[in-house]
Structure 1
Amino acid sequence: MKAEVGYNSILPLLFLFFSFLPISISQTTTEKQILLQIKHDWGNPPALATWRNSSISHCNWTGIQCGTDGSVTGIVLSNQNINDDVPSTICNLKNLSILDLSYNNLPGMFPTVVYNCTNLKYLDLTWNRFVGEIPIDIYRLPSGLTDLNLSFNNFTGDIPATIGWLKSIQSLRLEYNLFNGTIPGALGNLTQLQTLTLAYNPFSPGVIPVELGNLSKLRFLWMTQANLQGNIPDSFQNLFEMRQLDLADNSLIGSIPPGIWSLKNLEKVYLYYNNLSGPISFNDSFEAQYLAEIDLSINFINGSIPEVFCSLQNLTILFMYNNMLTGEIPQCIGRLPSLTEIHLFYNYLSGPLPPDLGKHSSLYSLRVFGNMLTGELPEGLCSNGNLTLLDLSNNYLIGELPESLGNCKTLQLIKIGGNSFSGEVPSGLWTANLSTVTMSKNNLTGMLPNRFATNITILDLHKNQFYGEIPGAIGSLPNLQTLILSENRLSGWIPDTVFSLKSLTVLNLSYNQITGEIPANIGKLSTIQSLSFAGNKISGLIPDSLLGLKSLITLDLSKNIFTGSIPAVIGKMQALTSLDLSMNSLSGNIPSEIGNLKLVFLNLSYNMLSGPIPMPLDQRMFSNSFISNPSLCTTNNFVNASSCSNNSSGNHRILLAIIISMVISLVIILSCGIYIRKRIYKRNKNDCTTWNFMPLQQVNFTEAKILRELTEENVIGGGGAGKVYKVSIHNNEQEEGKEYVAVKMISSAERLGSQHEKEFESEVKILGSIRHRNIVKLLCYISSADTKLLVYEYMANGSLHWWLHGRTEVSGAIKSGVIDWPMRLHIAIDVAKGLSYMHHECKPAIIHRDVKASNILLDSEFQARIADFGLAKSLIQAGEAETASGVAGTFGYFAPEYARTRKVNEKVDVYSFGVVLLELTTGRRPTEGGEHGNLADWAWYHLQENNDFNGAIDENLRLNPEHLRQIVIVFKLAVMCTSPLPSSRPSMKEVLQLLQDCEQLPMDF
């Protein structure tokens, strides 16, 4: 009886098992077939090679997630180089809840086929090539959808209000698109929303919707650079769950609502780059212990730092730099137990530093440079043994450096230049963990030590009272890149150990009392770029071993007592652009080899040179380079010297023959080019089947239209790779209302050269994957076997180079129209935004490698775009240097370490952008550095030696002195960007912050 009961009870279970088994097998087979169909619809991309009809379970295929019953619940195919439409068959997977197709090349409009994926909860389409508007029926997405990520695409127009009907949404990410409409208040209906990102979109100017205050569960709000105006709504005091509030880089006005500070879960506040005004106020319910970070930098906040900050017991970071803050820093700030970073630079703060700074917290970074602080340094800055960065430069601080700094083993950077410190430097400081030491322009005294921290990279002690000999211990600093000991009272010989420094790029020992001769082993400084021994008592011959200085750009040996002749080997130093040998006792002829150099500055005055001036140097730009050399003579009478008596007609005949040969060669080359171009055009213009047309944006033209317009009368420019055409994409004859594109042709009579092919591929790869309003848009490319066409948006106002420097024609220099300072500053900000996006938002980071004025294009409203990405490079990991196959770029713009080591990271772009800033402020070209060589070196010396900036500013800007303070700040920023040491350059994010701050400074300041 018991056996019968047991049998009867298990029979239904066995029946259920065997009846279910065929269904499960059938379902598995069906889903595998659906996946294979999806693969086919996508064109069988290589990334889906594991998707094949075999015994391997589809749950083990690339990117497939399955439930316990074997049904497909997720497809995660991020970064798999899929470049076709989302197939409708994808929603035949009835249990699909996760669809992640981010970081691919999906084209076209928003894929409405996903409306049919009824169980979809997570949809990620980040970093694709979607265009057009988000459809108004977006509400048809599954009602259970919780995560919608459409960031980093090309969506335009409005964000539809109907998106507010998706009541289950918890995360909505729309940053980095091209939305140019409005932000709907209907977003306030998404009551489950925890993350909302709308940053970096060119929205129409508008206020923050007050309805966003209804999002009581919102934790993360990111609306940086969203063209916001007006006030921060008072309704934001209802965002009780808010952790991070980021409204930076907009045009918000008014005071910060006190209710913001009552949000007890608030951790981070970013309100920089706005027009917020008035003191910071707090209401009675402010619960300070919950706030960990305040970044109110670069606003228009004036008044003093309120004492209420002293109640922020959990405050770790206080960033209020680049504002209009006045008064003293509250002393109680030094007693906050959690405070680690204080950045209050570029304000108008006065009085002493809080005496308790560093005693009650693990102070890590103190940066208060550019204020009006007085008094002595607090004794306990490093009491907790954590101080790493100390920048007090350009204040009015006095007294001796505290002995306790000498015991601060964590200190890596100390900048105290431009104060009135006196006495000797604490001995322990020289052996701390320092990498940067800048103590210039003080009254520090004593002898330099015989021991230094071995990881020092910058040692700048100029304009102090140091005396004695240069210690040989300096030669034991393997990482030293910049050594500046000028304008002290140093004496004796230069120690041989200095010339064994393998990483040294800048060596300046000028204006001391150094004697002796230059040793022959100076040629070991293979990385040196700037060398100055001016204003000493160095004697003897200039050694031939200078030839070993392969990277030297600037050489200044003036105001010494050198004798003998000028070594001919100087003419073989191909990088040299600035040479100053004036005020010595040099004799003999000027070596003809020096005429082979591409010099922008030359001074051989006040010597005893004789003979004719070599013809390449006998020109107007060197008119004052040879004065007080009585035995020198000129053949062209372009310089200050007596005329040579010999007949120069032979030279003229040679020059004429050279010119005629060049003209004939040019005619032949142009004729061949025209023939080749006509042959290519004739072969292809009526045969569109030979061309591959690939749109990267939504376009309203065909390849046939572009090909028909590639005529000589439409050529507007060109370069080493080919010509650039201005092409109308409309058929109407009226000029008004026409739209244009710019077409760059890269072609060859046979096949594309390997370098041009690489540049084409780089341009398409980079511009096809990034989207930013300050980066030129690549609309499409058209290619055939021997010709590549890149079609861009047309930039009506040409390049920044044209506007700053004009163009040169046979008749001479023709100066272009002048752009005023506000426009120049706005252009700089536009470019900084583009570079900051490339460096900090793109993954992996992108470096341009050829940032220059001619690659900055201006549209009809003078909005700037970065162009020409043929040399651009993606970094495997942001911040880490990679080795380039060769040095690419433009002389005067590329960073010194790039030319020397071929190592590239984001800082090479920062350097190049710094040169552009110098062009904007000074009006000079990158190679116009006078005696200092290039523009970057000239600017550095000018900043160090002159307090009057009128001589540095572009003469076209001097008529409006109300902009002077802005110009000076940008000039100083440019010098920071062009630091020889990459680690001393700011990031592009920091550069952008400083530039935007400048734009908001009042004009009557």
Structure 2
Amino acid sequence: MGRLQSGLCLILQLFGILSRMHLISGLSPDGLALLSLKKSFVDARGRLDDWLESDSTPCWWTGVSCDDLDAVIGLNLSAMDLSGELSADVGRLVSLVNLTIAQNNLTGNLPGEMSALGGLRLLNISHNNFSNHFPANFSRLKALEILDAYNNNFSGPLPMDLAELPNLTHLHLGGSYFDGIIPPQYGNLSRLSYLALSGNSLLGRIPRELGNLTQLQQLYLGYFNIFEGGIPSEIGKLVNLVRLDLSSCGLTGAIPPELGNLPNLDSLFLQINELSGSIPPELGKLAAVKSLDLSRNELTGEIPAELNQLQNLELLSLFLNNMQGDIPLFLGELPNMQVLFLWGNSFTGAIPRSLGLNGNLIKLDLSSNALVGSIPVNLCAGQKLLVLVLLGNDLSGSIPASLGQCNTLNHVRLGSNQLSGSIPEGLLRLNNLQMLELQSNRLTGSLSDHAVNAPLLQLFDASDNQIHGALPPDIGKLGSLQKMFLSDNRIWGEIPRGISELRSLSNLDLSGNQLSGQIPAELGKCTRLLYLDLSVNKLSGEIPSELESLQVLGFLNLSRNHLTGSIPPAFNMLQGLSSVDFSYNNLSGPVPINGQFDYYSASAFAGNPGLCGHAIAPCPHALNETSSSSANRSIAQRLGPGLKIVITGVGTALMIVMVFLLRFACCRKEQLNKMFGEKASHRHPWKLTTFQRLDFDSHHVLECLRDNKIIGKGGNGTVFRGIMPNGEVVAIKKLKKGGNMGCSDDHGFSAEIETLGKIRHRNIVKLFGCCSDGEINLLIYEYMPNGSLGELLHGSKSEILLDWNTRYAIALQAANGLCYLHHDCFPLIVHRDVKSNNILLDSSFQAHVADFGLAKSFQEAGKSASMSSVAGSWGYIAPEYAYTLKVNEKSDIYSFGIVLLELITGRRPNDPGFTADGLDIVHWVRTRYFNEEQGLLQILDPRMLCSNFPFNEVKAVVGVALICCSMNPVERPTMRDVVQMLVAARPKSRVNTFKDSDKSESPLIAI
């Protein structure tokens, strides 16, 4: 017996030795499969460099885990910046249990060979760019429990065969382009606890069969899907549901009372739909609910009294509905209430006095209702209140003194009410206050009684009140102030010299007061001023020449004062000055000539008998000569003695000569390169770097750089059209050289590579690769046969009429591309050069955001970065970027708003007609849209009048554009909100029409 046991042990040892022979003879089959898999990736950062054929086992490789027999059971390659494709070799890993390749840039199709992974339990392929139809043979993965395919480019119908996976508990197919219906068979996934299909293009009805998923805890079906009908009452059977998100998906009808049967529901999101009727009282049975958002619907009636049972409620959002009645008293008594948004309804009565007494209130917005009475005194009882917005009501009484001690406040908006009394002591000293709006009330008192020291305050608006007294002498302590509006009050005295400390100031309006004395010369130190209005006061003396330093000033109104002297002649050098008014003063002398002054109307100088020139009255000959040389004399006086002028002139001449010689040398070098061939001067061979599989090399790219293939030229280089050997058409952008004058600018090459090399989205232009020899940089893109939106609106293709469906589609698609950059990329990406010329159109007129040469990554939304200079295109640059040199994602949103206005008006943002009227496109649209009868027709592109267009839909998009172009970046929406507002702008009845027009071969109408 002992000999038998010894023999068996010897046999087992021998078997173990044989099973591990690969340790001596080479890699295991799993290791070889991984090496083959590696060849299909583009590993730009070398994350898989330790995957070596010379190793004896793959179990120590990055991302690989093995069992006791060295079989690969786990492969985690998440967030490694991999591109390329996932090859069929993954199917050779027969023991694989966990496959995670999320947050990369993999493209192409998922290999059907994955169905061989019979033991796979977790598959995470989210945040890649897999495209085309989802593999049907995934149904063979019977052991699969978790399938996360979020944020890819899958299209076609949702995979029906997934309903055959009996062990599936987590299914996430959101963020792709699936269309068609939700298969009713998904209701058979009895073990499912998580289902997310949001962010696709699904249609049809929400299947009633989903009510069979009784284990479901989270259900997400909203965003971009457009469902017919309403919410199925069967959803009320999902008794384990914790979160239900059906927002922004076109739902109609009433909210089913059966939703009150969900005892574990924590969050209910039904916002941005077309739900109607009243709020069912049965929702009061949702004992566990913390967040209830029913905003942006068509709900009517009053807030049900039964909601007083929601003792765990933290957020209630009902804004932009048609609700009415009093705000219930119990809302102030809910112990956990933190956020209450009821704005944009027809609520009446008083604000509950108990609001804030729970000590947890953080945000309160009751604006645009018909509320009366006074502001409750306990809103900040817990010292947590951040946002208080009550504007646009009929509130009376004084502003509670307690707000002056609420140190957490950062946004206070109380304008357009009937408030009286003085501004509470301490309100202008709050450390966190950023916005204070008190305009259009009946406030009295004196600002000079306040010691001001709010270090973060950016906007202060107390215009159209009855405030009297002098301006605070320590006003310079508001160091972050960007906009101050105090017009139409009773303020007297002089403008404090300390105003020069407001170096971030962009808008200053002190008009309609009783200010006296001179305009302080120190105001010229506020070099970021864009808007200055001191009209209708009692100011005297001369206009200080120091105001010539306001190089970005766009609006200047000094009318109806007692000013004397002449208009400083160097004002004609202020290139951005688009609107001026010097009327009704005592000014004399010639009006400056040339520059912007050639475009101003005579009314801007009326009421000054001593002024001459322009369109007023001819000047004597001597005064004309004085006018023609006055700007030079002004500069000379500031420089000092005549010798300095001579030295400066000589230095300038020498500098011009040096620049000419250097430029001549550069041009001569280029001529020699062309004569002998550019390749002769290159020191390095051409290198082609690809971001996906390409069937061509650098030689094929270089063959396309011929003059007869040029399709465009821009500030940074030339674009060529190239046809590769396989027939694929590409666009090749040859960037300008950095130059030989100490400039290391690569004209956006690094930024393009860094950005487009790692992102994929159907509304962002594809970067196939780049080619460089160390001196010349080439970028290879997908070809866009219909050029740019700018060309269609203003350029060589402007004779073609874009109908409204196409314009709307372009707007929504471009918004989707920018939304991806801002919300789905980490770190988020700010484009910094959004304009119509950078929105390219493919053969189906689908929009693609392009040109990422100025793009910048941000780790956190809302955080600004300081730039060394303003970059971008004139007319699209956000005002705060121009005067603070700080940029964040809100700068892109302003630029996108300008693009929307271009689409609607057909005009360029810097149209000469705007300048002649002293306006820009934003103000031009606002003045005509709101102040004239048939305002929409006044601004609409005349070419669109040749065809029918949906009046209300266009009107809604104008509203979106103007919100995007808000002067205050805080008031601009996020890009995700912009997408939702554009979707909401199109009535559900027109959605199918829109989708049909997308499929047409040509959405254009010739004229």
CA contact 2:27–2:55 (8 Å) conserved in 1: no
Aligned partner of 1:843 among 821, 826, 831: 826
Matched, 1:934 2:906: no
Show the counterpart of 2:98.
98
Structure 2 residue ranges without an equivalent (≥5):
625-667, 680-684, 991-1007
CA contact 2:30–2:71 (8 Å) conserved in 1: no
CA distance in 2, matches of 1:1001, 1:559: 52
CA contact 2:213–2:238 (8 Å) conserved in 1: yes
Show the counterpart of 1:746.
734
Aligned partner of 1:335 among 333, 336, 349: 333
Show the counterpart of 1:323.
321
1:781-930 equivalences in 2 (<5 Å): 788=778, 790-792=780-782, 794=784, 799=789, 802-803=792-793, 806-807=794-795, 817=801, 828-856=811-839, 865-884=848-867, 886-919=869-902, 925-927=908-910, 928=914
CA distance in 1, matches of 2:64, 2:676: 48
Show the counterpart of 1:381.
379
Structure-2 change in CA distance of 1:491 and 1:749 (3 Å): closer
CA offsets per residue over residues 105-126 of structure 1, 9 Å max, x none? Answer: 3333212333333432222222
Matched, 1:982 2:969: yes
CA offsets per residue over residues 632-660 of structure 1, 9 Å max, x none? Answer: 9999xxxxxxxxxxxxxxxxxxxxxxxxx
Matched, 1:38 2:34: yes
Structure 1 residue ranges without an equivalent (≥5):
1-6, 614-625, 636-671, 684-688, 732-738
Give 3-state SS (helix, strand or coil) of 1:309's partner: helix
Post-superposition offset of 1:880: 2.5
Show the counterpart of 2:494.
493
Show the counterpart of 1:651.
none
CA distance in 1, matches of 2:442, 2:165: 68
Show the counterpart of 1:451.
451
1:428-443 equivalences in 2 (<5 Å): 428-432=426-430, 433-443=432-442
CA distance in 2, matches of 1:966, 1:463: 34
CA distance in 2, matches of 1:866, 1:40: 35
CA RMSD in angstroms, aligned pairs only: 4.9
Post-superposition offset of 1:218: 1.7
Aligned partner of 2:361 among 360, 363, 387: 363
Show the counterpart of 1:653.
none
Give 3-state SS (helix, strand or coil) of 2:244's partner: strand
Show the counterpart of 1:278.
277
* TM-score of the aligned structures, taking structure 2 as reference length: 0.80
Post-superposition offset of 1:445: 1.1
What amino acid maps onto 1:983 in structure 2?
Answer: V
CA contact 1:610–1:629 (8 Å) conserved in 2: no
1:233-312 equivalences in 2 (<5 Å): 233-283=232-282, 287-312=285-310
CA distance in 1, matches of 2:601, 2:30: 69
Structure-2 change in CA distance of 1:63 and 1:679 (3 Å): farther
CA contact 2:170–2:194 (8 Å) conserved in 1: yes
More displaced 10-residue stretch of structure 1: 563-572 or 906-915: 563-572
Give 3-state SS (helix, strand or coil) of 2:469's partner: strand
Show the counterpart of 1:347.
345
Show the counterpart of 2:185.
186
CA distance in 2, matches of 1:682, 1:408: 68
Show the counterpart of 1:169.
168
Aligned partner of 1:423 among 421, 424, 443: 421
Post-superposition offset of 1:553: 3.0
More displaced 10-residue stretch of structure 1: 914-923 or 188-197: 914-923
CA distance in 1, matches of 2:980, 2:442: 33
CA distance in 2, matches of 1:37, 1:825: 48
CA offsets per residue over residues 923-972 of structure 1, 9 Å max, x none? Answer: 764343667653446678999xx776866873438999998887777666
Aligned partner of 1:954 among 933, 938, 941: 938
CA offsets per residue over residues 884-942 of structure 1, 9 Å max, x none? Answer: 46432111221233234433221111222333455566776434366765344667899
Structure-2 change in CA distance of 1:337 and 1:441 (3 Å): same
What amino acid maps onto 2:715 in structure 1?
Answer: G
Aligned partner of 2:715 among 717, 720, 731: 720
CA distance in 2, matches of 1:185, 1:371: 43
Matched, 1:137 2:131: no
CA distance in 1, matches of 2:568, 2:820: 49
Structure-2 change in CA distance of 1:988 and 1:693 (3 Å): closer
CA distance in 1, matches of 2:845, 2:602: 34
More displaced 10-residue stretch of structure 1: 759-768 or 832-841: 759-768
CA distance in 2, matches of 1:967, 1:677: 53
CA distance in 2, matches of 1:384, 1:949: 49
Show the counterpart of 1:108.
108
What amino acid maps onto 2:581 in structure 1?
Answer: D
What amino acid maps onto 2:325 in structure 1?
Answer: G
CA distance in 2, matches of 1:20, 1:526: 84
CA contact 2:30–2:72 (8 Å) conserved in 1: no
More displaced 10-residue stretch of structure 1: 486-495 or 444-453: 444-453
1:518-667 equivalences in 2 (<5 Å): 518-592=519-593, 594=595, 603-607=604-608, 613=614, 626-627=615-616
What amino acid maps onto 1:232 in structure 2?
Answer: I
CA distance in 2, matches of 1:843, 1:484: 38
What amino acid maps onto 2:464 in structure 1?
Answer: K
Post-superposition offset of 1:316: 0.9
1:155-166 equivalences in 2 (<5 Å): 155-166=154-165
More displaced 10-residue stretch of structure 1: 573-582 or 434-443: 573-582
Give 3-state SS (helix, strand or coil) of 1:155's partner: strand
CA contact 2:463–2:485 (8 Å) conserved in 1: yes
Show the counterpart of 1:64.
64
Between the aligned residues of both structures, percent identity stands at 34
Show the counterpart of 1:778.
766
Show the counterpart of 1:48.
48
CA distance in 2, matches of 1:767, 1:63: 25
What amino acid maps onto 1:180 in structure 2?
Answer: D
CA distance in 2, matches of 1:970, 1:441: 28
Structure-2 change in CA distance of 1:749 and 1:388 (3 Å): closer
Give 3-state SS (helix, strand or coil) of 1:399's partner: strand
Give 3-state SS (helix, strand or coil) of 2:588's partner: strand
Post-superposition offset of 1:291: 1.1
CA distance in 2, matches of 1:523, 1:309: 57
What amino acid maps onto 2:874 in structure 1?
Answer: F
CA contact 2:578–2:596 (8 Å) conserved in 1: no
What amino acid maps onto 1:423 in structure 2?
Answer: G
CA distance in 2, matches of 1:610, 1:59: 88
What amino acid maps onto 2:232 in structure 1?
Answer: P
Size of the aligned set, in residue pairs, is: 927
Give 3-state SS (helix, strand or coil) of 2:228's partner: strand
CA distance in 1, matches of 2:737, 2:85: 36
Post-superposition offset of 1:875: 2.0
CA contact 1:79–1:102 (8 Å) conserved in 2: yes
What amino acid maps onto 1:38 in structure 2?
Answer: L
CA contact 1:578–1:601 (8 Å) conserved in 2: no
CA distance in 2, matches of 1:966, 1:157: 29
More displaced 10-residue stretch of structure 1: 826-835 or 513-522: 826-835
CA distance in 1, matches of 2:108, 2:986: 38
Structure-2 change in CA distance of 1:131 and 1:920 (3 Å): closer
Structure-2 change in CA distance of 1:86 and 1:867 (3 Å): closer
Post-superposition offset of 1:477: 1.3
CA distance in 2, matches of 1:730, 1:601: 64
CA contact 1:273–1:298 (8 Å) conserved in 2: yes
